[in-house]
Structures are given as C-alpha cells and as structure tokens.
Amino acid sequence: MKFRLKPTDQVSGFLDKGTNVTGELEFAGTLRIDGNFHGSISTGDVLIVGEHAVVHADIKAGEVEIHGQLFGRIESKRRIQIYANGRVRGDVQTPVLSMAAGGILDGRVQMAIDQPEETTVAARTIAKDSNTRQERH
C-alpha cells in the first residue's frame, strides 16, 4: 500500500534530535525541528516543532504545528495547531487556533484580524436592511 503526502506534508528541511542551533532562521517550504533552537524564525510557509524539540524563539510563519516545547511569541498568518504533547509558553497571534486535549498554552491569544473597512461596510449594510424592513411594516 502506498501513502501519498500532500505537498504541505512534505518536509523540505529537518533539524534532528541532538542538534543545537542558535541564530536567525529563514526558510521556504516545510521545516521540522526536533532538536534545540534559540533565536528567531521567519517563513511564509510551515514550521513543525517536533515532539523532542525545545524551541526558544520569536516566530513569524504561515502555519505552525507544535508537538514539543516552544517558548516565545508566535505570529501565524493562517493557523497554529497545538497537539497533545505540545507545550507553548508565550503569546500567540493567529486567525485559527487548534488545540488537542492535553496540549498546553500559557500566554495570551489574539485571534481578531483588523479589517475595519469590511466591518464598517457590513455593519452599514445590515443597518440599512434592518431600517428598510422596519419601514415596510
């Protein structure tokens, strides 16, 4: 039986258990960290914090999956997933947050996306429709 990975499931970089890296990390594609990392991480794509990982970093990413330990601020454009063994100590900002039973998040969560123009237009449309209905009755 063959298993096919979705393109986003294919790991293009890997820091294995036993590695220690300090610095600024920028990458494209999907990177999995199972070692120790200290510094900052930036990508528009996917970061996977493996179950053996200990990451001390401020992170800006498209998506973040957390199976290990992460200390620092996380900004995600699309989503953050914290799995059962995942531990996060720090603030997170994302439009979508998913946590499995057993996952831990110790920090503040910001999920609101500032879109004042769309909200204003939608609010005006709803108010106008409401006033029109009231005038008919």
pLDDT in tens, 59-78: 999 999 999 999 999 999 99
For residue 132, pLDDT beyond 50: no
For the chain, helix (H) and strand (E) counts, in that order, are: 1, 13
- Distance (Å, whole) CA 110 – CA 97: 10
Of 8-12, 13-17, 105-109, the least confident: 8-12
For residue 22, pLDDT beyond 60: yes
Q: DSSP secondary structure string, 61-94?
A: EEEEEESSEEES-EEEEEEEEE-TT-EEES-EE-
pLDDT, average across residues 44-51: 96
Strand-pair partners of 71: 56, 89
CA 110 to chain centre: 11
Among 1, 4, 41, smallest CA distance to 13 is for 41
Confidence of residue 11 (pLDDT cuts 50, 70, 90): confident
